[in-house]
């Protein structure tokens, strides 16, 4: 998908004509809900992470079922990440990570043991070939795939925090973002994955709330919150007040792995806590995309926060590195389940689960680049199109990296594909 400004009019027309192209109806008795979708980098394979231990593989162009990994894990499969066009990793509530090769799917390449609770997501640093995983044990673990054997990979605990929900790396792997169910967003700046971080060993930049205005002032933090669902539950405690009250150690240049602690502003939630359930990064590293729910679980929002780089505006009042630019309220259905949203490959559009379907959202009505339509104050995301083809709550959605196609999966186990129809 081309992101060039002079050709995006054609792409906007394609997305505007997108329709349910084909739906793959699968028996819920075997695989259950669809928790995650992932395309291979070349767009030739669509993988599906399922509630009941299975991983499904499809040809997204022909909509044909390729393979079912019936016992990929011993519990819910939560996330899938491709390392290249052939090798991919899966993680599960059985506390393990598995590596697979598309050329030999009858057996796993290896199984990785190291987490002590449900493993929820996987990232991959293509520069160092290090696999990065996080789970509800609060641990972020680094795996050295350069020295992988049938018995596993050398690994080390990189970071630990309570209430950990999701962890992501920016496209250039210069930052790690971690969201928590207590409403905190942690950012590790100038990331160095080769250095393990013990509690208290990293410099704390600041603990503050993000803002939607250009005049940035300090604000209080949200209180802790727990998330309860059959497959998404966290029993850890909140971040310690001692950690949050440490003074800033960032004077001038930033040291490696400097930790910034934020409580992102959520519309209508200024005085209440919230849970950051889903976390994604803009493909060009310009912004982060969050799905947030209120403490009472009666409201949900999709929010976009721009990264603000450079020196602090005032030395006595250091600026936040994130600013709320766009947001929209979501349908409050499927309480307790996490809805995974995503950016399009060019970063101009967002696909967000919305009730029994998905919404395509833009920064403005013309699907402009984020940098071309940054507002002074937080503005609503524009709904470009709504697509409904499910009979249950949609939990996950994903753009193809190479074709004008979107996939979605729901609680009853149905996978739908959408592409332009004229």
Residue 116 located in a structural domain? yes
Residues 198-255: tens digit of each pLDDT: 655 555 554 455 544 333 322 233 333 333 333 333 333 333 333 333 333 444 455 7
The tokens for 175 are 């930052």
Q: Residue 268: its pLDDT value, please?
A: 63
The tokens for 279 are 């976390």
Mean pLDDT of all residues in 50-54: 90
**Per-chain mean pLDDT for the chain:** 80
Strand-strand pairing, 415-420 and 164-169: unpaired
Integer Cα distance of 192 and 121 in angstroms: 19
CATH of the domain at 357: 2.130.10.10
Q: What pTM was estimated for this model as a whole?
A: 0.83
Residue 350 phi, psi (nearest 5): -120, 135
Please, which pLDDT band fits residue 313 given cuts at 50, 70 and 90?
Answer: very low
Residue 217 located in a structural domain? no
Residues 131-141: tens digit of each pLDDT: 999 999 999 99
Residue 215 located in a structural domain? no
- Domain encompassing residue 384: 11-18+30-207+257-420
Helix (H) / strand (E) element for 64: namely strand 64-69
As beta bridge partners, residue 164 has 180
Q: For 187, left (φ over 0), alpha (ψ -120 to 50), or beta? A: beta
Residue 239 located in a structural domain? no
Higher-pLDDT residue of 252 and 143 is 143
Residue 232 located in a structural domain? no
Integer Cα distance of 392 and 414 in angstroms: 9
Number of domains in the chain: 1
Question: Could you tell me which of 330, 284, 328, 327 has the C-alpha nearest to residue 307?
Answer: 284
Contacts of 15 (CB under 8 A, 6+ apart): 349, 360, 367, 384, 385, 404, 420
Q: Residue 263: its pLDDT value, please?
A: 87
Helix (H) / strand (E) element for 20: namely strand 18-24
Residue 226 located in a structural domain? no
Helix (H, G, I), strand (E, B) or coil at 13: helix
Residue 125 in contact with residue 173, Cβ under 8 Å?
A: yes
The separation between the first and the last C-alpha atoms of the chain, rounded to the nearest angstrom, is 19
Integer Cα distance of 175 and 261 in angstroms: 13
Residues 268-287: tens digit of each pLDDT: 655 455 789 899 999 999 99
Cα atoms in the Cβ-side hemisphere of radius 13 Å centred on 284: 11
Q: Residue 128: its pLDDT value, please?
A: 87
Residues 154-202: tens digit of each pLDDT: 899 999 999 999 999 999 999 999 999 888 999 999 899 988 776 555 5
């Amino acid at each position: 998908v081309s992101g060039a400004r002079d050709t995006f009019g054609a792409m906007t027309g394609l997305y505007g004509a997108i329709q349910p192209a084909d739906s793959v109806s699968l028996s819920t008795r075997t695989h259950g809900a669809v928790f995650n979708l992932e395309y291979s980098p070349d767009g030739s394979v669509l993988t599906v992470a399922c509630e009941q231990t299975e991983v499904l593989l499809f040809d997204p162009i022909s909509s044909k079922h390729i393979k079912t990994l019936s016992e990929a894990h011993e519990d819910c499969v939560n996330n899938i990440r491709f390392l290249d066009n052939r090798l991919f990793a899966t993680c599960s509530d059985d506390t393990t990570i598995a590596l697979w090769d598309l050329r030999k799917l009858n057996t796993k390449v290896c199984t990785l043991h190291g987490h002590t609770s449900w493993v929820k997501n996987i990232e991959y640093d293509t520069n160092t070939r290090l696999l990065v995983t996080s789970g509800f044990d609060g641990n972020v673990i680094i795996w050295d795939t350069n020295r992988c054997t049938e018995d596993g990979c050398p690994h080390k605990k990189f970071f630990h925090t309570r209430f950990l929900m999701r962890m992501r790396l920016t496209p250039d792997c210069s930052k790690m973002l971690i969201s928590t169910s207590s409403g905190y967003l942690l950012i590790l700046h100038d990331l160095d994955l080769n250095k393990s971080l013990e509690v208290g060993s990293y410099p704390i930049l600041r603990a503050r709330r993000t803002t939607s205005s250009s005049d940035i002032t300090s604000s209080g933090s949200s209180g802790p919150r727990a998330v309860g669902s059959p497959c998404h539950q966290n029993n850890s405690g909140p971040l310690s007040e001692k950690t949050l009250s440490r003074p800033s150690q960032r004077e001038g240049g930033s040291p490696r792995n400097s930790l910034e602690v934020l409580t992102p502003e959520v519309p209508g939630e200024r005085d209440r806590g919230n849970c950051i359930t889903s976390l994604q990064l803009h493909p060009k590293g310009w912004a982060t995309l969050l799905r947030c729910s209120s403490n009472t679980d009666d409201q949900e929002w999709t929010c976009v926060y721009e990264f603000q780089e450079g020196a602090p505006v005032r030395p006595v009042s250091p600026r936040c590195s994130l600013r709320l630019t766009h947001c929209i309220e979501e349908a409050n259905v499927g309480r307790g389940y996490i809805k995974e949203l995503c950016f399009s490959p060019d970063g101009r559009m967002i696909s967000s689960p919305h009730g029994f379907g998905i919404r395509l959202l833009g920064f403005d009505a013309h699907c402009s680049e984020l940098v071309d339509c940054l507002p002074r104050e937080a503005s609503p995301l524009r709904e470009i199109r709504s697509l409904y083809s499910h009979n249950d709550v949609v939990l996950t959605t994903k753009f193809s990296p190479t074709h004008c196609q979107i996939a979605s999966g729901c609680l009853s186990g149905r996978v739908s594909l959408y592409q332009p129809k004229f």
